[in-house]
Structure 1
Amino acid sequence: MFDYKLLESLERVAALKSFEAAAQELNITQSAVSQRISNLEQRVGAILIQRGKNLTLTPMGQELANHAIKVKQLELELHHVLGENGVSHPLKIVINADSLATWWFKATESFHQQHNVMFDILVEDQSEGLKHLEQGLAMGCLCSSNKPLAGIRCEYLGSMEYRFYCSPQFKQRYFPKKQTQSELEATLTTAPAVIFGADDKLQKQQFQLWGLPTQFPYHICPSSEGLADMILNGQGYGILPVIQAEPFTDRLVDIFPEREGINVPLYWHYWHQSGSVLNKLSQVLVGEKTKGLIR
Structure 2
Amino acid sequence: MLDYDALYALNEVVRYGGFDRGAQALSLTQSAVSQKIKRLEQNVGGPVIVRTKPLKPTPLGRELLAHFQKVSVLEEALNIESGLQESASPITVAVNNDVLATWFSLVLAKFSETRRNPVHVYNADQTQTREKLQQGGVMACISQTGTPVTGGQSIRLGTMYYQLYASPAFIARYISGSPSPEKVMQSPGLLYDEYDVTLLSDYQQTCFNLAPSFSSCHWYPSSHGFVKMAVDGVAWALLPTLQVVDEVKKGELVSLFPQQALGLPLFWHWTSIDSGALSDLTRAVKLIAKQQLKDVV
Compute the TM-score of the two structures, normalised by the length of structure 2.
0.88
**What corresponds to 1:134 in structure 2?**
134
Partner of 2:204: 207
Q: Which residue pairs with 2:156 in the alignment?
A: 156
Letter in 1 for 2:235: G
Distance 1:103 1:179, change over 3 A: closer
Asked if the contact 1:92–1:122 (Cα under 8 Å) also holds between the matched residues in 2, the reply is: yes
| Shift of residue 54, structure 1, vs aligned partner | 4.5
Determine helix, strand or coil for the equivalent of 1:231.
helix
CA–CA separation in structure 1 for the residues paired with 2:243 and 2:190: 15
**Structure 1 segment 8-19 matched on structure 2, within 5 A:** 8-19=8-19
Matched to 1:252, the amino acid is L
2:284 is aligned to 284
Distance 1:56 1:11 in 2: 11
Q: Deviations over 1:39-92 (max 9, x none)?
A: 122223323333245433333233223322322232333345446774222100
Look up the match of 1:224: 223
Contact 1:273 1:279 in 2 (8 A): no
Q: 1:85 to 1:198 in 2, by over 3 A?
A: farther
Structure 2 SS opposite 1:222: coil
Post-superposition shift, 1:175? 1.7
Runs of 4+ in 1 over 6 A off after TM superposition: none
Q: Which residue of 1 aligns with 2:188?
A: 192
Aligned residues: 289
Identity %: 33
| CA shift digits 1:148-171 (9 cap, x unpaired) | 323312111211221111122222
Q: In the aligned structure 2, how far is the partner of 1:213 from the partner of 1:252?
A: 26
* Root-mean-square deviation (Å): 2.2
SS at match of 1:215: coil
Partners of 1:85 and 1:115 within 8 A in 2: no
- Asked whether the equivalents of residues 185 and 213 of structure 1 are also in contact (C-alpha less than 8 Å), the reply is no
Check 1:143–1:223 CA distance in 2 against 1; reply closer, same or farther (3 A cut). Answer: farther
Equivalent-residue separation in structure 2 for 1:25 and 1:143 (angstroms): 30
Where does the alignment leave 5 or more consecutive residues of structure 1 unmatched?
A: none
> Residue 80 and residue 194 in structure 1: after superposition, are their counterparts in 2 closer, same or farther (change >3 A)?
farther
* TM-score of the aligned structures, taking structure 1 as reference length: 0.89
Deviates more, 1:1-10 or 1:267-276: 267-276
Query: Who is 1:247 aligned against?
Result: 246
Letter paired with 2:243: Q
Contact map agreement 1:85 1:116 (CA 8 A) in 2: no
Q: How far off its partner does 1:269 sit?
A: 0.9
2: distance between equivalents of 1:238 and 1:212? 17
Query: In structure 2, what is the equivalent of residue 237 of structure 1?
Result: 236
> Are the aligned partners of 2:70 and 2:273 in contact in 1 as well (CA < 8 Å)?
no
Deviation at 1:6, TM superposition (A): 0.8
Q: CA deviation at 1:208?
A: 1.7
Q: Is the 8 A contact 1:163 1:240 kept in 2?
A: yes
Q: Whole-Å Cα distance in 2 between the matches of residues 10 and 213 of structure 1?
A: 46
For the residue of structure 2 that corresponds to 1:114, the secondary structure is coil
Residues 1:81 and 1:232: Cα distance change in structure 2 (over 3 Å):
farther
- Alpha-carbon contact 1:188-1:213 (below 8 Å) kept: no
Greater shift, 215-224 or 159-168, is seen at 215-224
Q: Secondary structure at the match of 1:188?
A: helix
SS of 2:228 mapped into structure 1: helix
